[in-house]
Structures are given as structure tokens and as C-alpha cells.
Structure 1
């Protein structure tokens, strides 16, 4: 056996496995961190929520959807907004898509709006097929080069890692973020206090 070839191949497999495990890491319930945010994931900070005084205002996030229509997140002010970063060739994105679709439908009447950012997909067609396959009814910005993602608050997401999700309060501020695929329970757990907060506003 060629030892050098075996070692290189093993390293490549290990690197791929680590990348996949990072994208698909599991989560636990949200707990109070004591520093103005709530963190989830046993200290990994894969899901974090921020107290109102700690929230950052987003820069202008706008562009064209997969269908070529203009979309500006500023138009969603007054709503709690879930912004999901995804790609059609991302297995963890496929795993969480049904959860996003279901919770989006169930929370729409409560004023929650979902928006996707399709990033680094080679073509709109592949992304549109993904949406058709999973019944995604909410719009997605097409961000082939990742420029829109780079406008998100520094440290809120890893531009190279999908899926990631940010949650905006009714004032358009970053209220929570998730760096892992989300279950229905995860989504509802983050949204519940934000919906209650917005109803009091």
C-alpha cells in the first residue's frame, strides 16, 4: 500500500467529515447566558438570542429574488423576520427545509415573515428546483457571489457555512442567530418570545 496516498486520502475524508459535522451539529434547549444573550448547544453558541439592548441594526439588505423581483428587508419592519441562508446542494439545508416551510406557514398569521438568502448556488434554476421540491412559498434573495451575506452584522454568521439563520425583531435588529440546521422546536423556541415582544410593541 502507498502510505502517503492513504494518509492524504484519509485527511481529505476527515476534513469533509469535520465540515459536515459542523454544518449538522445538534442543539439543545436555550438557556440564559447571563451576558445579555441566551446560548444553545452546550457552550458552542450555535444558537444565540440577544436582549433588546444588545441588538444590532442591520445594514441595507436588498437585491433580486430567484424570480428576479426586487426585495428589501427594510419593507418587513414591524414584523419578526426569519432570514435563512441556504444552498440547493447543501444536505443540511435540505434536512431543515421542511421545518422552515411548516413554521413559516404556522406563524404567518402572527406577523412572522420568512426570507431566504440563496448563496453561492451555481444557477437560479437549481435553487428554484429546490424551492419547488420542498414547497417553499416565501421569497429568497439570489446571492451567487455571497455579497449580500457579507452585509450581515460581523460575527452573526459564518459566510462560508450554511445553513445559518438570523432572526430580526420588529425594528429590524438582530435578535437571534443560529449556526446549525433548525428543527421545528428550535424555530418555535426562538420565535415565541420575539412574537410576544412584538405584540406588546
Structure 2
């Protein structure tokens, strides 16, 4: 299975929702075209993709992250601005996505390890027309951090074009303590790769 998942076919009842999702994901793909996000960066984007597919931006060249906000899978209001001053890890996932399931235990582990160091994980659940499977996913993999519910992919599209925006499912975006986009992975992560992304940002002054 590739790192980019495809949602399974649903019943007619949710066909309209999937059409909306399809449009959003198509727009997301277009937003990444020509940005250099998967080809090693460019002079305009000022980010590079290193080994393991992890792209990073020098501190001076980072773009401000959008204030992603909405309602969590548990019905609570949440915005990334709630975590100002922390390193924020945004993981885009779906309960139907096999690579998401593979990385989930590692993300849950690192979230616990780094919480005391000023790191906050936030999920961005997408392309799940109903919340039930997503909640079961969190329970199965012991994901304790909150996830915003984004079935149509609209929140994903708030990341600016040409930045380290999400272009696949799963995607993981790391935002530094100043609220700027610092790193991205477009493939599933284990705990070692996850720490490689966030440890330098924990150490930044």
C-alpha cells in the first residue's frame, strides 16, 4: 500500500459527501503542484527534502501556520492558536487508511514522551463521513491527543500554497514555538523519524 491512501467506496447515502471530499483532495493536489514539496524544494519555497522524505525549512525562511480551528471528534472546540508557545505536531489521518494505522502507535508514543517538553500533538481526521470509525481508531491505538474532524478536507486546504502543506494522507506537519511551519513528512512515520522532526524544534531558543 502506498503512503497515499484512497478512501473505500461508501453507500449512496454518503456519495454526496465523498464528491465534496474528492473536490477538496483534488484541490489539495493542485496546491502542491510545482511547489517542490516532493522534489527537494526550490529557490522559491526555501525548503528541502532530506533522507526519509522529511522536508525542513530554515528558521529564517519559515511561513506562518494558519490558525486551523474547528470541532474535535469529541465535540469540543479547538484551534491551533490554543497551543501558542508550544511545538505543535499536526497529523492528517483517516480511519480507513492503512499507513495511518501503521504509524498511529508511534505517534501516540512520541506524544506522551514529549508532552512535558512543550510538544502538543493534534490530529486532523479527514475523509471519514462518520465519526464512529475515527473514534474507534483512537481507542484502538490509544491516541489520547485531540483530533479535529475534517471530513471534506477543508481545513487541510488552509495551509498556504508553496509552504510545507499536507499533500497526502497521512501527512505530518510540525509547527515551531513561534507558530511557523518548520517540517513535514508525506509518508507514515515511526518513533525514530518522528523524533528526528521534532527534537531540533524542542531545542530551539
Shorter-chain TM band: 0.7 to 0.9
Residue equivalent to 1:102 = 109
Question: What count of residue pairs does the alignment treat as equivalent?
Answer: 168
Pairing of 1:1-201 with structure 2 (within 5 A)? 20-23=1-4, 37-41=47-51, 46-155=53-162, 156-159=164-167, 161-197=168-204, 200=205
Structure 1 unaligned spans of 5+:
1-19, 25-31
Tell me if structure 2 keeps the 8 A contact 1:157–1:179: no
Aligned-residue CA RMSD (Å): 2.1
Q: Which moved more, 1:144-153 or 1:80-89?
A: 144-153
Structure 2 unaligned spans of 5+:
6-39
- Ranked by relative contact order (alpha carbons within 8 Å, sequence separation 6 or more), the top structure is 2
Distance 1:62 1:189 in 2: 27
Aligned-pair CA distance for 1:66: 0.3
What SS class does the counterpart of residue 2 from structure 2 fall into? Answer: helix
Give the structure-1-normalised TM-score: 0.78
Distance 2:200 2:42 in 1: 17
**Structure with larger Rg:** 1
